[in-house]
Structure formats: C-alpha cells, structure tokens
Amino acid sequence: MSWSVVNDGDGLPRIILTEPAGSSAVASTKSPKPIRGGIPICFPQFDNLGYPERHGFARNRLWELDTCPSPLPRSNNHSSVDLILKSTDEDLKTWPHSFELRLRVILHPSKLTLIPRVRNTGSKDFSFTFAIQNYLSMSDVSEIRVEGLEMLDYFDILENGERFTEQGDALTFDGEVDRVYLRTPAKIAIIDHEKKRTLVLRKECLPDAGVWNPWNKKAKALPDFGDEDYKAMLCINSAVTETPVVLKPLEEWRGCQELSIVSSSYCSGQLDPRIVLHG
C-alpha cells in the first residue's frame, strides 16, 4: 500500500492510502456509496431493519473531526483521531432521532483500537444496532481458521436468517458465508498460516460477530468488488445485532474494538491458542 500527504482546504495534512491492486482497485469512492474495504461503521442499523440505507447511513456520510470528545479525555496521542457524525435534517426524515456518533481511532505499532460512542441528543428514547465491519486482508481465505466461535448460536443470512448452532472445531472456508454469531467471547483469533500471523480481535460491548465472504459467484455480481478478490479477504464484524441498544435522552453507549497482530509463533504451535483467546 502506498501513501501520500496532501493539505486539505483548511491547511490540515491528510494521509491518503492507496492500493493499486485488489478490491480497492474497483471499489467506488464516490459518496454516497460506502467504500468496499477498510472498516465501515454500520449505524443505526446493521443489515436491513426497515430503514432505507442498508447497514445504516453512517458509512455513507462524511464525518467531521471531533474537537470536543468529552467525556473521553482528549487524546494527547499523535497517532489517534476523534471523528464525529451528527444527525442532519435529511437523515432525521428517515431515522427521526437526534444523535452524536463519535469514533476514536488509535494506531499503535501492531494494534488498531476503535472506540465508537453513540449519544442520544434528542428528547425521546431510541434503539439501534451497530457494527464495525472489518474487511481483513488474508493470504488465501480457504487456508484461514477462525477460532472463538465454536459451539455458538448464529443467524445464517444465506438460510433466510434461520438460527443454527455451530458444531465442530474452528471455522474454515470453502464457499460463501454470511453469518452473525451471537454472544461471542471477547476475543476471536483469525489465523493466517501463509502470512504466518494471527489477527486477534478483542471487543467490548459488541457481543455479536458477523462473518462474511461472498465467494466467487456473488463476487462477480458485486460491481465494486473484483471477481477474484474474495480469495484474499474475510469480513469479521464486531456488532450489536440480536439485542439492540436502547438509549434514553442524554445517555451514551460506548463500545471498543482492538485488532492486533500476534507473532507467527502462534502458527507453529509454540503459542497456545487458549492463551490468545482467553489470555
């Protein structure tokens, strides 16, 4: 991935990351379409709960820099940014609730932390579902193992949302998958043998986890997704879906997700998977 720094209209530096090949090569960056990649934020709905924009409008809007992230203390860390999205008159027509959605993004050498917060700034209760949709880059999805979802209940979107219980061992992939696992442990490990690394997803107040890969047929049908790109990606979402969050006026909900990389020794069996998952 290459990067460059440009100054925007306010004289603020912006870092532009570009990937000349892969899914982002065909991804649309034109508003109001979400970018197929990165980490879209799904709010106020994950999937389609009856409001017009699938996965909510937040991923289709331009956010602003948040200069007052209270009550989170201001971050003095130069590798972090606070962003905010507020309800607009246009959005109030389809989702009639005033809110402030904040996101703190913190970058460490081998860890990315996201802290989303939703505040009810209106005068009535509202409820919402939410997801942090992580498009993860993989060497070869058919060689990936996901640990931490064993024996859990899940909704299978490909089976009309029917509820099943995961059997067996770790998750492996040999076809299209679109599931939402319910009440998962706080840690999920995504093991990439070929890249000799394990991604560890740790989450708080985000009890559910979506797992999605369109595989070859659906990939061809998606206009902003390369035909072969399904091979090198896996979406794992940290989500609140089964039991929506309810906020009274002035209440705030806060979640947290950490994505970190564990050394390749995990793949050679030197590191006990139980330590990664439960340590």
Ligand X SMILES: O=P(O)(O)OC[C@H]1O[C@H](O)[C@H](O)[C@@H](O)[C@@H]1O
Binding site for ligand X (CB under 6 A): 34, 54-55, 157, 178, 210, 212, 235, 237
The residue (of 95 and 212) whose beta carbon lies closer to ligand X is 212
CB of 98 to ligand X, least distance (A): 25
CB of 185 to ligand X, least distance (A): 20
CB of 44 to ligand X, least distance (A): 15
Q: 61, 23, 29: which is closest to 43 by C-alpha? A: 61
The residue (of 54 and 254) whose beta carbon lies closer to ligand X is 54
Residue 139 is which amino acid?
A: S
The residue (of 44 and 69) whose beta carbon lies closer to ligand X is 44
Q: How far apart are CA 32 and CA 54, in angstroms?
A: 12
Q: How big is the chain, counted in residues?
A: 279
Q: 150, 265, 279, 103: which is closest to 202 by C-alpha? A: 279
Element (H, E) at 95: none
CB of 274 to ligand X, least distance (A): 28
The residue (of 69 and 226) whose beta carbon lies closer to ligand X is 226
CB of 237 to ligand X, least distance (A): 6
CB of 32 to ligand X, least distance (A): 13
Residue 253 is which amino acid?
A: W
E strands present in the chain: 2-7, 13-18, 41-42, 64-65, 80-86, 99-108, 111-120, 126-137, 144-147, 153-156, 162-165, 177-181, 187-192, 197-204, 208-213, 233-247, 252-254, 256-262
The residue (of 55 and 97) whose beta carbon lies closer to ligand X is 55
100: β partners: 86, 119
The residue (of 136 and 245) whose beta carbon lies closer to ligand X is 136
Number of continuous H segments (helices) and E segments (strands) in the chain: 4, 18
The residue (of 87 and 134) whose beta carbon lies closer to ligand X is 134
Q: Which residue is nearest to ligand X (CB)?
A: 212
The residue (of 120 and 237) whose beta carbon lies closer to ligand X is 237
Q: How far apart are CA 247 and CA 187, in angstroms?
A: 26
Eight-state DSSP code of residue 260: E
CB of 235 to ligand X, least distance (A): 5
Count of beta carbons in the 10 Å neighbourhood of residue 75: 15
CB of 34 to ligand X, least distance (A): 6
Q: How far apart are CA 214 and CA 231, in angstroms?
A: 9
